[in-house]
Amino acid sequence: MLYFIVLLGIDRLIADDFRPMKNMKIGLLTNTACCNSMLRPTISLFENHRRIDLKAIFAPEHGFSGALQDQVKSSDSFHRNRIKIHSLYGKKQIPEHEALRKVDAVIIDLIDIGTRYYTFTWSAMLMIREAAKIGKKVFILDRPNPLNGVTVQGPLIQSGYESFVGLYSIPIRHGMTIAELCTMFCRENDIRADIHVINATGWRRNNYADETHMTWTVPSPNMPHFSTALVYPGMCLLEGTNVSEGRGTTRPFETFGAPWVVPNQLTQALQKRSITGADFRPTYFIPTFNKYRGQLCGGVQIYVTNRRKFKPVLTGLEIIRTLIRLYPGKFQWRQPPYEFEKEKMPFDILVGNSWVRKAIENGRAVTAIQRRWLTALKNFKSLRKKYLIYSQS
């Protein structure tokens, strides 16, 4: 395999000796998983630079440490040098103006997983919106999309289904970087933010993460491997059901099931669906936390055999259809609240509408469901072209 040497936004900032923000009072939105190519944490690089005055740290979901589990709220705290860490995943998701007024600029360095419901991008956008209101500069230290920057899959968000797992209408798998997304959101929604992008170099849009020299650093507890990210755009939909998505195991999202699932039965049913680019293996597991904690679950492990043919969103929907057909008296949709949404069904805010769930309940084929979102997806592909920073080759 040919590997590409990529310089991250933070690498380029170091090479420039932090020149764009010297002598500024800085607020930094990041977590400890964000490192440069030499695995030095971004926070350390900022707090140890002689001409950077780090005044505030802002932490996304999973906390500044990146160790908190799914949907565990965090409180404000202090870093070891007594800099305040402002939680953006607890009592508030929007940074307070009082904290922003103490800085000249906000720096955003976050690892995205290329999937709409991964919340880091939305914390970045909430930060940008508030910074724009009080005239603060925003620097985005960009990173490649680990799932490549070409493939776009899934439905967009229907009006009224915006949430913290999707503030603006994009597909589930968007094929963009955080900087590309945030620039697009601002320009398309007349958010007059003073954004400065420090882009990565050496990345080609068709590169997956393992086709670069970059080391995988775990951005959140249930994203331990690149292989997890490959299946996440589809398997995260199981969060909207009573089926375990594998949290509490060593292979979250790659392993799924429930105490009432018969592994061989489900595996054989999925293999008959001729799902491209993937294979399945029957398994058992006991989650150490989350759904069915401490209970023996029958399940399946998914293996991506050809990632360029694999369609994770369609696969996730096909798995749910199969579960409903095999276990009609056991399968249930998860009820709210979920991700700060108290009324709408969790599955609906994940998928971005209610019609997909209703179509599945009515026995519609996944191919028929997909046809309904293709026009909106085509329009999105046309729109995104204006905001793409990196070339494909």
| Closest by CA position to 127, among listed 25, 28, 24, 18 | 28
Two tokens at 156? Answer: 């967009």
Vertex 275: Cα angle to 149 and 382 (nearest 5): 30
Domains parsed from the chain with CATH numbers? 9-220 (3.40.50.12170), 226-353 (3.90.1150.140)
pLDDT of 11: 97
User: Hey, is 132 helix, strand or coil?
Assistant: helix
Q: Which amino acid is at 87?
A: S
In the block, tokens 């994009």 appear at 170
Phi and psi at residue 364, to the nearest 5°: -65, 145
pLDDT of 259: 98
Q: What is the pTM of this model?
A: 0.96
pLDDT of 156: 98
What long-range pairs does 265-274 form, CB within 8 A, spacing at least 24?
Answer: 265/326, 266/298, 266/299, 266/300, 266/322, 266/323, 266/326, 267/300, 269/322, 269/325, 269/326, 270/300, 270/318, 270/319, 270/322, 273/318, 273/322
Measured between alpha carbons, how far is 52 from 128 in angstroms, rounded to an integer? Answer: 21
Two tokens at 160? Answer: 């009224």
Q: SS3 string of 55-124?
A: EEEEECCCCCCCCCCCCCCCCCEECCCCCEEEECCCCCCCCCHHHHCCCCEEEECCCCCCECCCCHHHHH
User: Hey, is 384 helix, strand or coil?
Assistant: helix
pLDDT of 393: 72
pLDDT of 274: 86
pLDDT of 1: 60
Q: From first to last of its 393 residues, what are the pLDDT tens digits of the chain? A: 667 799 999 999 999 999 999 899 999 999 999 999 999 999 999 998 988 999 999 999 999 999 999 999 999 999 987 899 999 999 999 999 999 999 999 999 999 999 999 999 999 999 999 999 999 999 999 999 999 999 999 999 999 999 999 999 999 999 999 999 999 999 999 999 999 999 999 999 999 999 998 999 999 999 999 999 999 999 999 999 999 999 999 999 999 999 999 999 999 999 999 899 999 999 999 999 999 999 999 999 999 999 999 999 999 999 999 999 999 999 999 999 999 999 999 999 999 999 999 999 999 999 999 999 999 999 999 999 999 999 987
pLDDT of 2: 61
CB atoms within 10 A of CB 388: 17
Measured between alpha carbons, how far is 275 from 279 in angstroms, rounded to an integer? Answer: 8
User: Hey, is 288 helix, strand or coil?
Assistant: coil
pLDDT of 74: 93
